[in-house]
């Protein structure tokens, strides 16, 4: 789309009145309404005033990566015709309990403005926002056309809020509740969908733990003939799954419930044949407590699978190998490290089309290594899966040589997230820092957009990143580096950097202040447990008025230390809803 | 590019640690951060006796992690010091994995005197081996540790949903084994660790009839491990040599086989009748002999008390 924008800019140079007469606004708006990517739309809006206006009138979906970078009033003023909103709130490290509970990112103020300005709002997708039951009820009542609600990693609500949505949203097509801090008060919310309600296409309640009213669910699935995504929670048994699938063979994405009930041979056969009827299934997840003996029931359903999420199923290597033999089209695979290196070898052998691999630790907090994957597993996958471009890998040992081999086999990495779980651990064979590993990654993988580093790292890693990672947008650093120089290299070298999150590194004020201008081109910076002081933060705030500089203090820490620093650009000014523990400088 | 100025990682303290300057030189492996000691090991503190003199450096350099952070690390390192051998001074019948606040801790957070642990080499290694990842144990077989162990906040970076899911429904395969054990009294899996080996094994005590059978099974199991290094593949040309070496080790003086019983005490294997042993054994550990001092008398006493 880049060349498209430059073409548009060239046309700007021609006679302005002629352009205006031959290119009416309605036509321009119609053309621009076909633009979906928000980045393209941002480029278009910068061409000239006419284009800015045309773009803003034709935009129907707005993406706000940081809810505090802009206010709901500003958004509503600029974009009058929004039907779909995506909002992200808290810094990513809140997922790991590094952000205080009442930090903010509450949706309610936004909903109030939307209710007034976008009464025909249809979709709301939230990530890391705080949302209360009252807000959910307000949402359900205020928007008669509301269709899709997606909550990922949010908190503050309970199943009562879901009940309100089910009760009032007559046109709901999507209810996607993922990995939230939800107060699960019971499964009765599902019974709140009225008997006349048939529009649901996406239902994901895998997040919830309590039993749901299965009868209500069965009826709901039975009457929603357009349902294509159904992700159940653990309380749904195999037998119940089979009954649901009988009425929904058209499902494209299935998240099973618990996969470990005692089945008779007859019940097993029923399950197998029902699953084989699901000819459209391309995504499979759930499989909680999956027992090896029942996995073969899945085999017939796996032939078209492109995404298999086994990250809640503690499979052994042999079980995985047998299953993967039936999944030749797999593009995305998530597993637990119980499959070990042998399991990953099977991945390399069976999944030549694989593009994404995530290996989660089954026992991340176990200091004694019982199982797990090593560098050997990763290398094996890289040999068999040359199209691999996204990896998230938790392991307990790694070597520089292995990573070099991996990126040689797979040079197209866009997302490389390696977590060596013991902080500051070196190459276990050579005892050297892991600098050369990440050096190889950034030198070889020119398309790299996202990088998470781990292991023992000196400033050299950051020199490499600054020098080679020209497309890097997101960098996550923990327990790494030796001096300010490391962070300075990154800030000085990565032109496309948008998000930088750092914890427990020896970077101080000099590093922080070396990125003064840079932060305005970035979405945000997070630094916690580093060497930054309050004075450094105050200086930053003073020099850069368009940045919000927020400090979160820990109990009992030194007054001069800035324990947690969150810096982000904003056109809305400093926020007014910060709790007492968050200081805005 | 000019060599960067080494900043003291400790934000608070003014005096630089002598070890920081030494350990900051990445080019010199010898004076490095004692990287070998930050390798994950299962060995008891002190299992690397020849390298003992390097541990001063290691602990002091680790101190940089400790005081540089306000939470988690000092606790974690303190937790590291809890990994002391119970047979040492300070007594008490706490199991190896129960945390203990030794009287020598100076409020828990002061690591300027690593020797203040029970046994100099013991606590140093304890700290060395467990720099930052002392975590709460949830549902370990045979673990008696209360939940007071420190945890590095937000590390490894796993979302709460996943953490809570795994905590409330442990996904470990040995749970399946235990479930089967309940169904028929078929098996009795216990974990076996060996000092210096990179990972544990499990054995089913019910399939052996005597100490001899158990002992030879363990020899086979651990023959691929030699002291210190074990590659992930575990197979090397040294195998033949290692196997006989291990047998020598087990029969010789360098290693002893110990077990943790129901009370959380560590005993020498072999002192009690086989059936009594299988009924009370919760986990096994192949320990270096040097650490097993003080075990035998207690085992005999206990045995006497039971009889």
CA–CA separation, A475 and A454 (whole Å):
11
For A399-418, the pLDDT digits (tens) are 999 999 999 999 999 999 99
Confidence grade of residue B131 (pLDDT, cut at 50, 70, 90)? very low
Among residues A515, A526, A573, which one has the least CA distance to residue A545? Answer: A573
What integer is the mean pLDDT of B11-26? 40
CB contact under 8 A, A366 and B154: no
**pLDDT for the residue B293:** 67
**pLDDT for the residue A160:** 95
Confidence grade of residue B248 (pLDDT, cut at 50, 70, 90)? low
CA–CA separation, A107 and A228 (whole Å):
28
Alpha helices of B149-259 — where are they, by DSSP H?
160-168, 173-183, 211-222, 239-251
Query: Which own/partner contact pairs does B94-97 have at CB distance under 8 Å and 24+ positions apart?
Result: B94/B144, B94/B264, B95/B144, B95/B145, B95/B260, B95/B263, B95/B264, B95/B265, B95/B266, B96/B44, B96/B260, B96/B266, B96/B285, B97/B137, B97/B140, B97/B143, B97/B144, B97/B145, B97/B264
Q: Which helix (H) or strand (E) holds A63?
A: strand A61-64
Of residues A363 and B18, more confidence is placed in A363
For B249-267, the pLDDT digits (tens) are 555 557 788 888 888 888 8
**pLDDT for the residue B191:** 81
Question: Which residues, given as ranges, of chain A have pLDDT below 70?
Answer: 1-23, 367-371
Number of A/B CB contacts below 8 angstroms equals: 186
Q: Kind of pairing, strands A148-152 and A84-88?
A: unpaired
Residues of A in contact with B163 (CB under 8 A): 364
The residue in chain A having the minimum alpha-carbon distance to the alpha carbon of residue B38 is A425
CA–CA separation, B246 and B236 (whole Å):
15
The percent helix, strand, coil of chain A (3-state, each to 5) is: 40, 20, 40
**pLDDT for the residue B8:** 42
**pLDDT for the residue A486:** 97
CA–CA separation, A133 and A157 (whole Å):
5
CB proximity list for B49: less than 8 A, separation 6 or greater: B121, B290
Residues of B in contact with A554 (CB under 8 A): 70-71
Q: Which helix (H) or strand (E) holds A538?
A: helix A534-543
Side-chain-side CA neighbours of A44 within 13 Å: the count stands at 24
* Percentage of the residues of chain A whose pLDDT score is greater than 70: 95
**pLDDT for the residue A502:** 97
What integer is the mean pLDDT of B24-51? 44
**pLDDT for the residue A492:** 95
CB contact under 8 A, B9 and A371: no
**pLDDT for the residue B211:** 86
CB contact under 8 A, A423 and B131: yes
**pLDDT for the residue A417:** 98
Q: Quote the ipTM score.
A: 0.87
* Percentage of the residues of chain B whose pLDDT score is greater than 70: 28
Confidence grade of residue B304 (pLDDT, cut at 50, 70, 90)? low
Burial tier of A386 (Cβ tally within 10 Å: 0-12, 13-18, 19+): middle
CA B82 to chain centre: 10
CA–CA separation, A491 and A430 (whole Å):
30
In whole angstroms, how far apart are CA A419 and each of A359, A376, A438, B158?
10, 15, 12, 10
Residues of B in contact with A366 (CB under 8 A): 135, 137, 140
B89 pLDDT exceeds 50?
A: no
The residue in chain B having the minimum alpha-carbon distance to the alpha carbon of residue A99 is B154
Separation in Å, CA of B278 to nearest CA in chain A: 22
**pLDDT for the residue A551:** 95
Separation in Å, CA of A373 to nearest CA in chain B: 9
Of residues B110 and B186, more confidence is placed in B186
CA–CA separation, B19 and B63 (whole Å):
10
Separation in Å, CA of A490 to nearest CA in chain B: 14
CB A71 within 8 A of CB A48: no
For A332-358, the pLDDT digits (tens) are 999 999 999 999 999 999 999 999 999
Q: What is the pTM of this model?
A: 0.70
Confidence grade of residue B305 (pLDDT, cut at 50, 70, 90)? low
CA–CA separation, A143 and A121 (whole Å):
6
The residue in chain B having the minimum alpha-carbon distance to the alpha carbon of residue A463 is B1
Separation in Å, CA of A314 to nearest CA in chain B: 6
**pLDDT for the residue B157:** 94
Separation in Å, CA of B304 to nearest CA in chain A: 33
CB contact under 8 A, B12 and A362: no
**pLDDT for the residue A583:** 87
Alpha helices of chain B — where are they, by DSSP H?
18-23, 35-38, 55-68, 73-81, 120-129, 160-168, 173-183, 211-222, 239-251, 274-280, 295-306
**pLDDT for the residue A447:** 97
Residues B105-137, buried b or exposed e (16+ Cβ, 10 A)? Answer: beeeeebeebebbbbbbbbbbbbbbbbbbbbeb
CA–CA separation, B210 and B215 (whole Å):
9
Ordered structural domains, chain A, with CATH:
24-59 (1.20.1280.50), 526-585 (no CATH)
CA–CA separation, A293 and B138 (whole Å):
27
**Dihedral, A216, A217, A222, A228 alpha carbons, nearest 10:** 150
**pLDDT for the residue B220:** 76
**pLDDT for the residue B307:** 44
């Amino acid at each position: 789309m880049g060349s498209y924008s430059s073409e548009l800019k060239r046309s700007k140079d021609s006679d302005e009145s002629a352009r205006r007469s031959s290119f009416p606004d309605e036509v321009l708006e119609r053309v621009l309404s076909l633009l979906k990517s928000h980045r393209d739309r941002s480029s278009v809006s910068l061409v000239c005033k006419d284009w800015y206006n045309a773009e803003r009138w034709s935009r129907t979906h707005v993406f706000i990566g940081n809810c505090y970078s802009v206010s709901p009033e500003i958004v509503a003023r600029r974009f009058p015709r929004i039907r779909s909103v995506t909002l992200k709130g808290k810094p990513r490290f809140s997922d790991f309990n590094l952000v205080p509970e009442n930090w903010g990112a509450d949706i309610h103020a936004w909903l109030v403005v939307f209710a007034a300005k976008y009464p025909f709002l249809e979709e709301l997708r939230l990530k890391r926002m705080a949302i209360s039951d009252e807000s959910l009820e307000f949402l359900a009542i205020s928007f008669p056309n509301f269709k899709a609600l997606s909550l990922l990693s949010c908190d503050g609500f309970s199943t009562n809020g879901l009940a309100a949505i089910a009760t009032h949203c007559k046109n709901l097509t999507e209810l996607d509740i993922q990995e939230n801090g939800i107060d699960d008060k019971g499964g009765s919310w599902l019974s709140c969908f009225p008997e006349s309600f048939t529009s649901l296409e996406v239902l994901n309640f895998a997040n919830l733990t309590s039993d749901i009213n299965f009868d209500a669910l069965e009826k709901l699935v039975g009457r929603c003939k357009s349902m294509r995504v159904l992700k159940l929670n653990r309380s749904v048994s195999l037998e119940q799954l089979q009954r649901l699938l009988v009425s929904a063979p058209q499902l494209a994405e299935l998240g099973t419930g618990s996969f470990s009930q005692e089945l008779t041979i007859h019940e097993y056969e029923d399950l197998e044949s029902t699953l084989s009827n699901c000819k459209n299934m391309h995504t499979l997840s759930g499989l909680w407590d999956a027992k090896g003996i029942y996995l073969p029931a899945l085999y017939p359903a796996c032939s078209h699978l492109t995404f298999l999420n086994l990250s809640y199923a503690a499979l052994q290597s042999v079980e995985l190998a047998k299953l993967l033999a039936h999944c030749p089209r797999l593009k995305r695979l998530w597993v637990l490290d119980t499959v070990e290196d042998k399991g990953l070898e099977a991945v390399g052998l069976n999944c030549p089309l694989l593009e994404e691999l995530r290996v989660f630790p089954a026992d991340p907090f176990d200091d004694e290594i019982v199982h797990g994957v090593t560098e050997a597993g990763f290398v094996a996958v890289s040999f068999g899966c040359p199209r691999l471009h996204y990896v998230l890998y938790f392991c307990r040992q790694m070597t520089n040589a292995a990573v070099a081999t991996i990126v040689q086999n797979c040079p197209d990495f866009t997302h490389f997230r390696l977590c060596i779980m013991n902080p500051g651990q070196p190459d276990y064979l050579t005892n050297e820092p892991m600098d050369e590993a990440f050096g190889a990654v950034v030198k070889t993988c020119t398309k790299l957009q996202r990088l998470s580093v781990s292991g023992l790292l000196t400033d050299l890693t950051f020199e490499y990143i600054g020098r080679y990672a020209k497309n890097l947008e997101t960098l996550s650093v923990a327990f790494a580096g030796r001096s300010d120089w490391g962070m300075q290299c990154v800030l000085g070298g990565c032109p496309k950097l948008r998000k930088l999150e750092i914890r427990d590194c020896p970077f101080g004020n000099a590093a922080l202040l070396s990125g003064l201008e840079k932060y305005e081109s970035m979405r945000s910076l997070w630094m916690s447990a580093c060497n930054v002081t309050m004075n450094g933060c105050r200086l930053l705030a003073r020099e850069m008025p368009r940045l919000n500089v927020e400090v979160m203090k820990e109990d009992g820490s030194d007054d001069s230390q800035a324990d947690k620093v969150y810096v982000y650009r904003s056109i809305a000014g400093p926020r007014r809803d910060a709790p007492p523990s968050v200081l805005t400088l | 590019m000019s060599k960067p100025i080494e900043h003291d990682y400790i934000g608070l303290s003014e005096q630089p640690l002598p070890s920081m300057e030494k350990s900051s030189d990445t080019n010199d492996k010898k004076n490095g951060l004692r990287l070998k000691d930050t390798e994950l090991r299962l060995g008891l503190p002190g299992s690397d006796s020849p390298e003992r003199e390097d541990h001063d450096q290691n602990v002091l350099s680790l101190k940089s992690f400790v005081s540089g952070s306000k939470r988690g690390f000092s606790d974690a390192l303190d937790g590291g010091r809890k990994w002391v051998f119970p047979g040492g001074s300070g007594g008490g019948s706490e199991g190896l994995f129960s945390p203990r606040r030794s009287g020598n801790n100076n409020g828990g957070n002061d690591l300027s005197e690593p020797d203040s642990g029970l046994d100099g080499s013991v606590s140093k290694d304890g700290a060395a081996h467990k720099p930052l990842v002392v975590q709460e144990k949830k549902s370990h077989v045979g673990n008696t540790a209360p939940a007071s162990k420190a945890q590095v906040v937000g590390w490894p970076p796993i979302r709460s949903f996943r953490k809570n899911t795994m905590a409330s429904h442990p996904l470990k395969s040995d749970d399946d084994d235990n479930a089967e054990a309940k169904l028929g009294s078929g098996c009795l899996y216990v974990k076996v660790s060996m000092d210096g080996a990179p990972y544990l094994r499990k054995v089913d005590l019910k399939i052996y009839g005597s100490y001899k059978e158990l002992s030879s099974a363990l020899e086979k199991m651990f023959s691929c491990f030699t002291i210190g290094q074990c590659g992930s593949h575990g197979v090397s040309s040294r195998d033949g040599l290692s196997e006989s070496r291990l047998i020598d080790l087990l029969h010789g003086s360098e290693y002893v086989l110990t077990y943790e019983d129901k009370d959380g005490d560590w005993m020498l294997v072999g002192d009690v009748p086989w059936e009594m042993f299988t009924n009370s054994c919760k986990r096994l550990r192949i320990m270096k002999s040097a650490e097993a001092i003080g075990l035998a008398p207690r085992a005999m006493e206990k045995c006497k008390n039971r009889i």
